[in-house]
Structure 1
Amino acid sequence: MGKLVVTTFVTLDGVYQAPGGPEEDTRDGFEQGGWSVPYVDEDFGRFVDEDFGRFVDEVFSRAGAFLLGRRTYDIFASYWPKVTDPADPVAGKLNALPKYVASAGLRDPGWAGTTVIGRDLAEEVTAIKERTDGELQTHGSGALVRSLFALDLVDTLHLLTFPVVLGAGRRLFPEGFEPVALRHTGGRITSSGVSVQSYDLAGRPRYGEFPLPENN
């Protein structure tokens, strides 16, 4: 069975909304979209932050299929099909590999290789994992990611934390999120200060307390 691997960007205060541009996601009047760009800005097809670019290359080299939420799918579908170089490490995989989009409203996806799912997320995603050779990867897709966590379908989380605090925007893990424990498996800090940390899921949190010292 393949692994379900989530890669997502957040700010230091946990915001995942609209990392890639001001018009990407303006829900709730959000006006600070594009907050990740200064840290990873591409220059003529190359990431200015080479450490970040190296991580992206590594992630996409392991992809076997993609599972996306509707909003992230629409953003990707408006951009990546226009990048036609098959040697591009991101576009080559996104355009060639199977894509699954969780949506109740999408009927006729225009991006080749796309299948719409959503009737029974647990059953359908489990079946996709079983038949995927390589990682089933989810990028962005905050609402879908929360559903995948709640269903215990996530195997690995790559959390990229950017050195910026916004004070507004949708949080990846809001109040009321199902508690989950994670085991740290590796990490790095890029030259622009992005913290790239990887975790495997480890069930539910354990709790304890610090006892008061005994009096001598």
Structure 2
Amino acid sequence: MRKLFVSNLVSLDGYIAGPNREIDWHNVDGEYEAYGVQMMNACGAILFGRITYDLMAGYWPTATDNNPEVTRQMNVLEKYVFSNTLRSADWQNAQVVKEPMGPFVQRLKEEEGADIVILGSGTIVSQLTELRLIDEYRIFTVPVLLGGGVPAFPPSFKRAGLELVSSREFSEGNVLNTYWVK
């Protein structure tokens, strides 16, 4: 059985993107990139919502200013996009999923293979959390206060208990906390 985990950067005040969906505040350095290489090499698939998919598909296919191994993995991994409006996905190895998310993700998790990651995609994270399909949360707290933007979880979100299993401070101030679902 495959594990489904989230790997997201979050501002200290709880946002995954700024008021205009900007992510220029992400604190990405060589140490973070090394984490990214290791994480992506352990994954077999990525889940996206439409908004995050559009952002990523607009960047990664032609990216030249990033770690080449992360760029390669972002392009070759299987990508599943949950969207009611997107008709097709043009990014390599991407497909739009029109069926209900819960049963689809449960089937993916039951397949043999490497783990599945969700990057960004706050709505998908919230919905799959409520369905209790996410096994692990890897949350990078970035030392910045945005004062507004896209919350990591919406105000209407229902409480979910988590257990802290590890914490790691990165040299540029990011802190990676890894949680398992209780």
Identify the residue that residue 22 of structure 1 maps to in structure 2: none
Aligned amino acid, residue 2 of structure 1? R
1:119-134 matches, cutoff 5 A: 119-134=99-114
Asked if 1:150 corresponds to 2:130, the answer is yes
Give the C-alpha shift of residue 170 in structure 1.
Answer: 2.2
Identify the residue that residue 104 of structure 1 maps to in structure 2: 84
How many residues are paired up? Answer: 180
Asked if 1:15 corresponds to 2:15, the answer is yes
Q: Quick one: distance in 2 between partners of 1:169 and 1:83?
A: 26
Q: Quick one: distance in 2 between partners of 1:67 and 1:175?
A: 23
Aligned amino acid, residue 11 of structure 2? T
Confirm or deny: 8 A CA contact 2:3 2:135 kept in the other structure.
yes
Aligned amino acid, residue 119 of structure 1? E
Give the C-alpha shift of residue 116 in structure 1.
Answer: 1.1
Identify the residue that residue 20 of structure 2 maps to in structure 1: 26
Larger RCO of the pair (alpha carbons < 8 Å, separation 6+): 2
Q: Quick one: distance in 1 between partners of 2:78 and 2:112?
A: 9
Q: TM-score, normalised by structure 1?
A: 0.78
Give the C-alpha shift of residue 113 in structure 1.
Answer: 1.2
Identify the residue that residue 212 of structure 1 maps to in structure 2: none
1:134-165: CA deviation from partner (whole Å, max 9, x where unpaired) = 11111011111101101111001000001111
3-state SS of paired residue (1:126) = helix
Asked if 1:3 corresponds to 2:3, the answer is yes
Q: Quick one: distance in 2 between partners of 1:133 and 1:64?
A: 7
Confirm or deny: 8 A CA contact 1:8 1:139 kept in the other structure.
yes
Give the C-alpha shift of residue 53 in structure 1.
Answer: 2.0
Confirm or deny: 8 A CA contact 1:64 1:132 kept in the other structure.
no
Q: Quick one: distance in 1 between partners of 2:135 and 2:73?
A: 21
Identify the residue that residue 45 of structure 1 maps to in structure 2: none
Confirm or deny: 8 A CA contact 1:100 1:114 kept in the other structure.
yes
Confirm or deny: 8 A CA contact 1:118 1:124 kept in the other structure.
no
1:58-90: CA deviation from partner (whole Å, max 9, x where unpaired) = 211211111111111111111111148xx9221
3-state SS of paired residue (1:16) = strand
Which of 136, 153, 160 matches 1:173? 153
Confirm or deny: 8 A CA contact 1:160 1:194 kept in the other structure.
yes
Give the C-alpha shift of residue 97 in structure 1.
Answer: 1.7
Pair 33,95 (structure 1): closer, same or farther in 2 beyond 3 Å? closer
Q: TM-score, normalised by structure 2?
A: 0.91
3-state SS of paired residue (1:196) = strand
Give the C-alpha shift of residue 33 in structure 1.
Answer: 4.6
Q: Which segments of structure 1 move beyond 2 Å, counting only runs of 4 or more?
A: 173-176
Aligned amino acid, residue 67 of structure 1? L
Identify the residue that residue 35 of structure 2 maps to in structure 1: 55
Pair 33,57 (structure 1): closer, same or farther in 2 beyond 3 Å? closer
Identity %: 34
Give the C-alpha shift of residue 132 in structure 1.
Answer: 4.9
Confirm or deny: 8 A CA contact 1:65 1:132 kept in the other structure.
no
Gapped regions of structure 2 (runs ≥ 5)? none
Confirm or deny: 8 A CA contact 2:20 2:149 kept in the other structure.
no
3-state SS of paired residue (2:17) = coil
Identify the residue that residue 92 of structure 1 maps to in structure 2: 72
Give the strand-richer structure, 1 or 2.
Answer: 2
